Structure 1
Amino acid sequence: MTFGFAPSSAASLSASSMRSERSADSADRPTRMLEPTEWAAAGIPLLRNPREVVSGLHTRHRPRPRTAVVAVLDPEERLRASASFVRRESAVDGWTFRNALLSQLRRVIPHDLRRRTPVRTAVLLYCREGDTRWTQEDGAWMWGLRDACTLHGLRCGAYITMTHDGWQVLGEGRGGRRPSADSVAEAFGGDEEPAPRTGGAATEMLRRAAAR
């Protein structure tokens, strides 16, 4: 025989309320994201010349807010391929971002999964509103970049944000005022949104192969 106490209705309501609050909290918070400390501990390789990389990607893709630019660099930090696309979905989720990045990488450059050690590095530049401080959206992009690199046989490289204040390599503290999210409007005028673009030596190679 066992003895116990039936929970009071007030206690039941309180527990139910706490569960609801936790569920609402979980729904509001992005899933699959990396905190700055986790990113710092991941051993992301430093860019030798981040300003040159950022300026080159900006010139090639002219990113506006909500535009992501993923690029693949060789061991000498030369650009081998790149692609840009505009973030359409409203949900902040690393899984969704990973799939979008992986899709772009597959379009512009063959994978390196047969190599024992990755020799090429993927970096991500994301142009967004707000200031240069880390956001949960940044954490989701970091998770997505790291996972996309693993699935494509690449090293996970720098995550760079570009805002109206300028650009910054998150986790490194390096950045600059130009180029910025305003540079496109200054250079081209108007509100026309740049079309997604691809480029790089590997892209040309794939185009020639497809034309045969």
Structure 2
Amino acid sequence: MTFGFASSGAAGMSGHLTSAALSADSAHRLARMLEPAEWSAAGIPLLRNPREVVGALHALHRPGPATAVLAVLDPDERLRASASFSRRATATDGWVFRNALLAQLRRVIPHDLRRRTPVRTAVLLYCRDGDARWTQEDGAWMWGLRDACTLHGLRCGAYITLTQDGWQVLGEGRAGRRPSVGSRPETFSETDPPAPRTGGAASEVLRRAAAR
């Protein structure tokens, strides 16, 4: 049996390959993200009343930092299903985010792949630290949402961030100060009820959540 050390040339080659692999992985991750301009150009359908949708999802799930809230809306923007989960990935990678979103969709609602044209729309509310400016993490979530919707037969809807500054629909410029990270769910009087258009059992769940 022979023991020894690799030559400096071999060591240098190994280090070079490692750096090249890391560079390729970084390039792939950058390719799996969307910037706001690309998102806007993709023709993402606008929410008629984003404040209602954000308020309803915030009241129902009460997300904290690094929490994603995925919701499926029907053509009348009534909530048909939703799920919240914490980000566990260490890397900002749209492929990883896509898989996480797709797993949640498969858990809460049947796919619409048999339809010629998607009817239901998925929107994503992501609660994070920092300010409202777009980040690469947002871009990876956008890529992941678009791809997950395609694989589940849904329309890709709005991507919304929730930060200390409030909420913002990325790529549209629509925003509000409440709710925000750490804020209590808003309650509304009967004379001024911006109740979300949810209908059925979901409407009752959101009504009780908003009244807490």
TM-score by length of 1: 0.75
1:90, distance to aligned residue in structure 2 (A): 1.1
For 1:130-160, what per-residue CA distance to the aligned partner results, in whole angstroms no more than 9, with x for missing partners? Answer: 1001000000000000000000000000000
Which residue of structure 1 lines up, in the alignment, with residue 156 of structure 2?
156
Q: CA separation in 1, counterparts of 2:109 and 2:185?
A: 30
Q: CA separation in 1, counterparts of 2:59 and 2:37?
A: 31
1:30, distance to aligned residue in structure 2 (A): 3.4
- Secondary structure of 1:51's counterpart equals helix
Which residue of structure 2 lines up, in the alignment, with residue 30 of structure 1?
29
Distance verdict in 2 for CA 1:67–1:116, change over 3 Å: same
AA at the equivalent of 1:27: S
Which residue of structure 2 lines up, in the alignment, with residue 6 of structure 1?
none
Which residue of structure 1 lines up, in the alignment, with residue 124 of structure 2?
124
Q: CA separation in 1, counterparts of 2:158 and 2:64?
A: 19
Which residue of structure 1 lines up, in the alignment, with residue 53 of structure 2?
53
Kindly indicate whether residue 70 of structure 2 is the aligned counterpart of residue 66 of structure 1: no
Which residue of structure 1 lines up, in the alignment, with residue 141 of structure 2?
141
Which residue of structure 1 lines up, in the alignment, with residue 101 of structure 2?
101
- Secondary structure of 2:123's counterpart equals strand
Percentage identity across paired residues of the two chains? 77
Checking the alignment, whether the CA contact within 8 Å between 2:168 and 2:175 is kept in structure 1 is yes
Q: CA separation in 2, counterparts of 1:87 and 1:64?
A: 11
Q: CA separation in 2, counterparts of 1:89 and 1:21?
A: 23
Q: CA separation in 2, counterparts of 1:24 and 1:102?
A: 27
Q: CA separation in 1, counterparts of 2:114 and 2:28?
A: 36
User: More displaced, 54-63 or 175-184?
Assistant: 175-184
Stretches of structure 1 lacking an aligned partner (at least 5 in a row)? 1-12, 188-199, 203-212
Q: CA separation in 2, counterparts of 1:89 and 1:23?
A: 17
Checking the alignment, whether the CA contact within 8 Å between 2:166 and 2:180 is kept in structure 1 is yes
Checking the alignment, whether the CA contact within 8 Å between 1:111 and 1:153 is kept in structure 2 is yes
Distance verdict in 2 for CA 1:89–1:186, change over 3 Å: farther
Which residue of structure 2 lines up, in the alignment, with residue 205 of structure 1?
none
The 5-angstrom pairing of residues 73-84 of structure 1 reads 73-84=73-84
Which residue of structure 1 lines up, in the alignment, with residue 110 of structure 2?
110
Distance verdict in 2 for CA 1:131–1:114, change over 3 Å: same
Checking the alignment, whether the CA contact within 8 Å between 2:179 and 2:186 is kept in structure 1 is no
Checking the alignment, whether the CA contact within 8 Å between 2:59 and 2:186 is kept in structure 1 is no
Q: CA separation in 1, counterparts of 2:201 and 2:71?
A: 12
Superposition misfits of 4+ residues, deviation over 2 angstroms: 19-31, 184-187
1:21, distance to aligned residue in structure 2 (A): 8.2
1:201, distance to aligned residue in structure 2 (A): 5.6
Distance verdict in 2 for CA 1:201–1:100, change over 3 Å: farther
AA at the equivalent of 2:26: A
Q: CA separation in 2, counterparts of 1:109 and 1:21?
A: 41
1:40, distance to aligned residue in structure 2 (A): 1.1
1:89, distance to aligned residue in structure 2 (A): 1.5
Checking the alignment, whether the CA contact within 8 Å between 1:63 and 1:184 is kept in structure 2 is no
Checking the alignment, whether the CA contact within 8 Å between 1:167 and 1:176 is kept in structure 2 is yes
- Secondary structure of 1:183's counterpart equals coil
